[in-house]
Structure 1
Amino acid sequence: MKIERLISMIMLLLQRELVSAAEMARMFEVSKRTIYRDVDTLSMANIPVYTLPGAKGGIGIMPTYKIDKKLLTVEDLSAIVASLDGLEQLLASPEIKKTVLKMKNMLGENDVLPANSISLDFSNWSMKQELNEKVEKLHLAIKKLQLVQLSYIDRDGKQTMRLIEPYHLLFRNRSWYVQGYSLERENFRTFKISRIVGMDVLDQVFESRNFTVKPFESMPSRPHFQLCEVDLLVDKVAREQIVERFDVASMKQVDEEQFSVVVNLPNHEVGYRFLLQLGTHVTICSRDSFYTGFQAYLRAIHEKYV
């Protein structure tokens, strides 16, 4: 839209001394004639833009206006670019790519923060092509307010068909989720995208409901699993995953190799699977219902392969 382009032009000119009309035309995907018309519009709105002819000329904004009315600092833009760079690695959206390019172009060649200030790197996080395509399709469906039909497997392995109004994509703990309104349940629900086995974006559009982004834990869902306090003894290898997942205020170093910690785990296969991935690097010290359930789970695995 024109108003968005005009605002972006102002932000760009506040950060750069001169920008050629050709560069702006490429950035905003319009003609040079449109750019010059936009310059006239800004001038009529009392924004002190000017043009300089020649090979080293371009479009600029008066320095006094930059000093008095600067909208974003170099630090602001650098922080935004760092965040968008991380998002671009997770979601291959053309709109995000364009936004990253625009923001980077607003930073001049000399406008850089001290080295190693902050960056986000998801390059080692590999997402299967099929999953990536689902995320991109849902992102587009959210923008266009299109209904989505899901074939979904819940955490207990039950497969159902769901018709949803998608509203929000959430990336949490290395997994993508879509939050939307389930027409069958007549309430908002959260769906883990890796559990979607089939998905159709319908041509039918919906009227947007009063949806606000909520913390993951507050989204309506099935009751949580029963949590148990589990005393663990972990070595230096397992300590890393415990620290990343839990509040470890209770962690204490026992000796040079081991740490004791109390964590809350679901007394369910979900909790048992988490401990299994730590292998011999963790020991359960509790002798309670969780311990008994974990033993039964291990026996079931053993019997499967005997």
Structure 2
Amino acid sequence: MKIDRLLGIIVLMLNKGRVSARELSERFEVSSKTIYRDMDTISQAGIPVVAYPGLSGGFEIMKSFMIDRYWLSVEEMGSLFTAAKGIHQALGSPETKALLDKIQNLLNKAKVGRIPEEDHMAFEPLIMDLNPWGQREGIREQLDLLRACIAQKQRAIIHYVSSGADSVVRKREVEPVSLILKGNVWYVQAYCLYRKDHRLFRISRIEQIKLLETRAQPRLRPQLDALSWNSVWSEGMPCTVTLRFTPSARPRAADWFHPERWIEAADGSVVISTVLKVDEWLYGTLLSMGDTVLVEGPSWVAEELSRRAKKIAAQYRNLDT
């Protein structure tokens, strides 16, 4: 989008100073003519851009100019600080720490003169912690490797545990392009040279990553502003499932279903009927709840759950007592 490119150009010039038209056109993948038109647009918006000729020339924001911090309110800067803090907790990189310090400095300056009793930003009304509980060891190191791979536009070899019945470790040569945090799970969007398409890889299932000297090729890729669920990821059949949660399992029911869907039973249990995809995720989730949830219908789902539970129990029959 043009507005994203304009903002990116402004931030780059603020941070780097003088930037050539060639560097900008390569970075934003547009022509030099487009960059010159962008500079006119930026100047018309009130940001003075100076053009310097010659081999060391380029575009630069006038040194005497500084974007007024009050383009953002204290509350808006507080929101930026909260978001940056959450990102830093998840990545822990020097870059995110530097960003956090810069926003904190701007926020402190903007709050000068405020009476503490009137400043509801004296405490944090919103806290974002993007570092998930229970994350296995090594995820952050893998994130660092993949971020370096993306920044340097390199290819990588990954050893990936595939999903499905076979669950084998597959070796793939990929070109990582984006890291995605969905809920508490990290993914990498990468071009897979074997599949000849962009794929999503769950980072916790990557056993090894090796960066290659080979450069990644410029490719068109699907734009992801958010990671929405794709129905092809699940082979399950949608059907109406009726579940009865025991009183002790009400918190789990509250995690998944709005109370408006609940039917309160006299014994304190909760009955919920809703359309669910009957797949491996559903069976695994129900088994993890043990005897605190009962499938009341359909019967074939209850029978399959019973078969799986018996198979698990059979593994422990010969244990010494």
Fold in common (TM above 0.5): yes
* Alignment-mate amino acid for residue 283 of structure 2: Y
Tell me, in whole angstroms, the C-alpha distance in 2 between the residues paired with 1:221 and 1:146.
29
> What is the aligned partner in structure 1 of residue 101 from structure 2?
101
Q: 1:122 to 1:189 in 2, by over 3 A?
A: closer
Moved more, 277-286 or 112-121: 112-121
- C-alpha displacement at 1:219, in angstroms? 6.1
* Alignment-mate amino acid for residue 171 of structure 2: M
| Helix, strand or coil at the partner of 2:156 | strand
Tell me, in whole angstroms, the C-alpha distance in 2 between the residues paired with 1:219 and 1:140.
28
- C-alpha displacement at 1:147, in angstroms? 0.9
After TM superposition, the structure 1 = structure 2 runs for residues 5-20 of structure 1, keeping only pairs within 5 Å, are: 7=14
> What is the aligned partner in structure 2 of residue 90 from structure 1?
90
Q: 1:177 to 1:132 in 2, by over 3 A?
A: same
Tell me, in whole angstroms, the C-alpha distance in 2 between the residues paired with 1:87 and 1:237.
35
Tell me, in whole angstroms, the C-alpha distance in 1 between the residues paired with 2:157 and 2:76.
40
Tell me, in whole angstroms, the C-alpha distance in 2 between the residues paired with 1:120 and 1:96.
15
Moved more, 276-285 or 197-206: 276-285
> What is the aligned partner in structure 2 of residue 154 from structure 1?
162
**Aligned-residue identity in percent:** 22
| Helix, strand or coil at the partner of 1:270 | helix
After TM superposition, the structure 1 = structure 2 runs for residues 212-251 of structure 1, keeping only pairs within 5 Å, are: 212-213=223-224, 215-217=226-228, 222=233, 224-245=235-256, 249-251=260-262
- C-alpha displacement at 1:2, in angstroms? 11
After TM superposition, the structure 1 = structure 2 runs for residues 130-279 of structure 1, keeping only pairs within 5 Å, are: 130-156=138-164, 157-211=167-221, 212-213=223-224, 215-217=226-228, 222=233, 224-245=235-256, 249-255=260-266, 257-279=268-290
- C-alpha displacement at 1:237, in angstroms? 4.2
Q: 1:180 to 1:122 in 2, by over 3 A?
A: closer
Give the one of 63, 71, 84 matched to 1:42: 63
- Structure 1: runs of 5+ lacking an equivalent: 10-39, 50-64
| Helix, strand or coil at the partner of 2:261 | coil
Q: Deviations over 1:216-241 (max 9, x none)?
A: 34669655433343211124543333
Q: Could you tell me whether the CA contact under 8 Å between 2:287 and 2:305 is conserved in 1?
A: no
- Structure 2: runs of 5+ lacking an equivalent: 1-7, 17-60, 112-118
Higher relative contact order (CA 8 A, sep 6+): 1
Q: Could you tell me whether the CA contact under 8 Å between 2:86 and 2:128 is conserved in 1?
A: yes
* Alignment-mate amino acid for residue 136 of structure 1: D
Tell me, in whole angstroms, the C-alpha distance in 1 between the residues paired with 2:298 and 2:155.
49
Tell me, in whole angstroms, the C-alpha distance in 1 between the residues paired with 2:227 and 2:10.
34
Q: Could you tell me whether the CA contact under 8 Å between 1:75 and 1:113 is conserved in 2?
A: no
- C-alpha displacement at 1:256, in angstroms? 6.9
Q: Could you tell me whether the CA contact under 8 Å between 2:186 and 2:204 is conserved in 1?
A: yes
* Alignment-mate amino acid for residue 108 of structure 2: G
Q: Could you tell me whether the CA contact under 8 Å between 1:189 and 1:220 is conserved in 2?
A: no
Q: 1:94 to 1:264 in 2, by over 3 A?
A: farther
Q: 1:291 to 1:220 in 2, by over 3 A?
A: closer
Tell me, in whole angstroms, the C-alpha distance in 2 between the residues paired with 1:124 and 1:182.
27
